[in-house]
């Protein structure tokens, strides 16, 4: 899962991309990059990348050096390839004059990489699926890509050829050396991408692509719509927009966008994240009433479960209390790479108000339970504070199966719900009971009949036969990762 943004038609594009990325920081903490182009100068690309949080990667001075009227930006969350600074995006193929940022996962990356290596006279160091996508686009653009303005027709042909080979999830933004931007989304629409326009008082129009509506809303874009599955959008440097659906198979957006990943202000598929989470809480209230569970207080696990917890408390007419205090300087633990990194970050992340837990029957609301790291630590803290009873409530159904599309749990063995009943999960986590949302309740709350729920149901929108190889390679990447890479978090 990563954050993407592309902006065209503004002399301050680098600043717009920077502030857009700041509103997408939650999608990736490993590092960030911005690529701009001054199309009037030969070789006019300017690139700045670095590890860590966005505000630490870019300075006022570096932003001034990122000149040009078009730019793309990327916030990285590593899922293929180690957390290596060399793998930070955007990637740039200087020879062809094409830069690229990618959000998603290519399930058949390793087999595609082998196929490409066999056809090349010189070895290719493709350590990430994003670099592979860029290579496919460049190869499909012909023998001398970039020798003339790309244009929508040849680019769309190259994208279509790439789509025929790629299996998995991908939202892409690209920048050409002529100052054109373009983007496209996988044929099942698994990963999000939106397109927006805005017009200045002087009549100048700016165009943008981004992972979430929240980023474009912050930048003042008014006309925002979702890029369709399999759709490509090309904006040339003169502001001519061309849109075309190249290959469409389904509309199967990842349910985790609403449940956990996206900003609460964002909207996908006609449903705002806020509304979806609120309805998830109301449905859970009905479930708890049906089960006859009694409690004294409802407590959210900050931050993403707060909306569902408020709705749950309202539905049960029960006090809502913010009793788990978050250290604002510890970032999202779920997207850290490695069990030890997550557990250490969790230990420093949350602190209970012990006096308010003592003798209480508590409903602890979390957005989801994946590995169980957060839940175990929180339950331990709450019980040490003297809670009489702890019920853990998840606004997401049990996650039994791997994700192959950009959320980093590629192995079922690391999932706490894998081959466990609800009672066994409760025992493992140290709680009195667990209550999960149902898959039907999830669809109802999100107002989406078609979702990617592969991690819940094992029904994936694409072929995942290559998934076992993906799982093995990803686990190898983790083992090779430096042990102290998140020491600053």
- Identify whether the C-beta of residue 185 lies closer than 8 Å to the C-beta of residue 193: yes
Do 218 and 294 share a structural domain?
no
Q: Is the dihedral of CA 473, 478, 479, 481 positive or negative?
A: positive
pLDDT of residue 482: 46
Last residue of a domain, one of 227, 252, 277: 252
Order of strands across the sheet that contains 389-394? 297-300, 361-366, 389-394, 433-436
317 and 389 share one domain: yes
Q: 288 and 219: one domain?
A: no
185 in the same domain as 68 = yes
pLDDT digits (tens, 9 = 90+) for 359-415: 999 999 999 999 998 899 899 999 999 999 999 999 999 999 999 998 878 788 889
pLDDT at position 12 is 84
- Point out the domain boundary residue: 252, 280, 295: 252
Low-confidence ranges of the chain (pLDDT < 50): 335-336, 482-489
Q: Give the burial class of 296: count Cβ atoms within 10 A of its Cβ; 0-12 exposed, 13-18 middle, 19 or more buried.
A: middle
Q: Catalytic annotation on 2? A: yes
Our measurement of the distance from residue 2's CA atom to the centroid of its chain's CA atoms, rounded to an integer in Å, reads 5
Q: What is the CATH number of the domain that holds 50?
A: 3.60.20.10
Closest CA to 471 of 398, 416, 415: 415
Which of 224, 252, 280 terminates a domain? The answer is 252
Residue 477 Cα distances to 83, 101, 135, 343, 417, angstroms: 9, 21, 22, 19, 24
Q: What CA–CA distances, in Å, run from 335 to 58, 146, 213, 331?
A: 22, 36, 21, 9
Q: What is the pLDDT of residues 38-79, one digit of tens each?
A: 877 766 899 999 999 999 999 999 999 999 999 999 999 876
Runs of H (alpha helix) within 66-128: 109-119
**What is the span of the domain harbouring residue 138?**
3-252
What is the C-alpha separation between 392 and 139, in angstroms, rounded? 51
Distance CA 263, CA 265 (A): 5
Indicate whether 72 belongs to any domain: yes
**Does residue 467 sit within a domain?**
no
Centre a 10 Å sphere on the Cβ of residue 63 and count the other Cβ atoms it contains.
Answer: 17
Q: Tell me the Cα Rg of the chain.
A: 23
Distance in angstroms (rounded) separating the CA atoms of residues 266 and 284: 22
Number of domains in the chain: 2
CA–CA separation, 95 and 89 (whole Å): 17
User: How far apart are the C-alpha atoms of 373 and 393, rounded to whole Å?
Assistant: 15
In terms of domains, do 283 and 144 share one?
A: no
Contact of 183 with 232, CB cutoff 8 Å: yes
What is the DSSP annotation of 426-487?
A: HHHHT-SEEEE--HHHHHHHHT-SS-B-HHHHS--SS--TTHHHHHHHHHHHHHHS-TTTTT
- What pLDDT is stored for residue 126 in this prediction? 78
pLDDT of residue 394: 98
Considering the domain architecture, whether residues 120 and 172 belong to the same structural domain is answered as yes
Q: Indicate if 54 and 84 belong to the same structural domain.
A: yes
pLDDT for the residue numbered 458: 93
DSSP per residue over 390-422, as a string?
EEEEESS----S---SSSS---GGG-TTTT--H
CATH of the domain at 322: 3.40.50.2020
Residues 134 and 274 in one domain: no
Catalytic residue among 2, 174, 254, 403: 2
Domain assignment of residue 127, yes or no: yes
Alpha-carbon separation of residue 261 from 198, 258, 264, 265 (angstroms): 26, 7, 9, 12
State whether 85 and 206 are in the same domain: yes
């Amino acid at each position: 899962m990563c954050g993407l943004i592309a902006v065209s038609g503004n002399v301050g594009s680098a600043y717009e991309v920077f502030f857009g990325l700041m509103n997408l920081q939650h999608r990736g903490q490993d590092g960030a990059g911005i690529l701009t182009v001054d199309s009037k100068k030969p070789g006019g690309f300017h690139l700045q990348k670095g590890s860590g949080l966005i505000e630490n990667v870019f300075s006022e001075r570096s932003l001034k050096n990122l000149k040009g009227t078009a730019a793309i930006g990327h916030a990285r969350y590593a899922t293929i390839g180690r957390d290596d600074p060399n793998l930070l995006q955007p990637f740039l193929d200087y020879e062809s004059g094409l830069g690229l940022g990618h959000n998603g996962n290519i399930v058949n990356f390793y087999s595609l990489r082998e196929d490409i290596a066999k056809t090349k006279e010189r070895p290719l160091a493709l350590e990430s699926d994003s670099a592979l996508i860029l290579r496919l686009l460049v190869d499909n653009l012909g023998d001398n890509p970039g020798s003339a303005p790309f244009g929508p027709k040849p680019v769309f042909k190259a994208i279509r050829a790439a789509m025929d080979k790629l299996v998995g999830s991908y939202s892409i933004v690209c920048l050409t050396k002529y100052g054109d931007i373009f983007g496209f989304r996988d044929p099942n629409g698994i990963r999000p991408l939106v397109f927006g326009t805005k017009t200045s008082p002087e009549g100048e129009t700016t165009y943008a692509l981004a992972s979430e509506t929240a980023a474009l809303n912050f930048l003042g874009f008014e006309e925002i719509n979702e890029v369709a599955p399999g759709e490509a959008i090309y904006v040339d440097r003169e502001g001519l927009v061309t849109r075309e659906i190249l290959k469409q198979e389904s509309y199967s957006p990842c349910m985790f966008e609403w449940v956990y990943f996206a900003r609460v202000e964002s909207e996908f598929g006609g449903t705002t994240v806020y509304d979806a989470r609120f309805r998830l809480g109301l449905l859970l209230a009905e479930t708890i009433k049906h089960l006859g569970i009694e409690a004294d207080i409802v407590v959210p696990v900050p931050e993403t479960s707060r909306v569902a917890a408020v709705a749950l408390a309202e539905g049960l007419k029960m006090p809502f209390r913010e009793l788990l205090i978050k250290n604002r300087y510890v970032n999202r633990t779920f997207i850290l790479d490695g069990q030890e990194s997550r557990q250490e970050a969790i230990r420093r992340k949350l602190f209970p108000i012990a006096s308010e837990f003592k003798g209480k029957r508590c409903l602890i609301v979390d957005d989801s339970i994946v590995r169980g790291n957060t839940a175990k630590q929180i339950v331990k803290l709450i019980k040490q504070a003297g809670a009489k009873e702890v019920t853990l409530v998840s606004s997401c159904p049990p996650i039994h199966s791997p994700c192959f599309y950009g959320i980093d749990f590629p192995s079922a063995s690391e999932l706490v719900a894998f081959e466990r009943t609800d009672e066994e999960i409760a025992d493992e986590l140290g709680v009195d009971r667990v209550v999960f949302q149902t898959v039907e309740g999830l669809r109802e709350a999100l107002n989406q009949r078609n979702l990617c729920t592969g991690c819940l149901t094992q029904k994936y929108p694409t072929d995942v036969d290559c998934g076992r190889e993906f799982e093995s390679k990803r686990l190898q990447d983790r083992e090779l990762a430096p042990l102290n890479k998140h020491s600053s978090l």
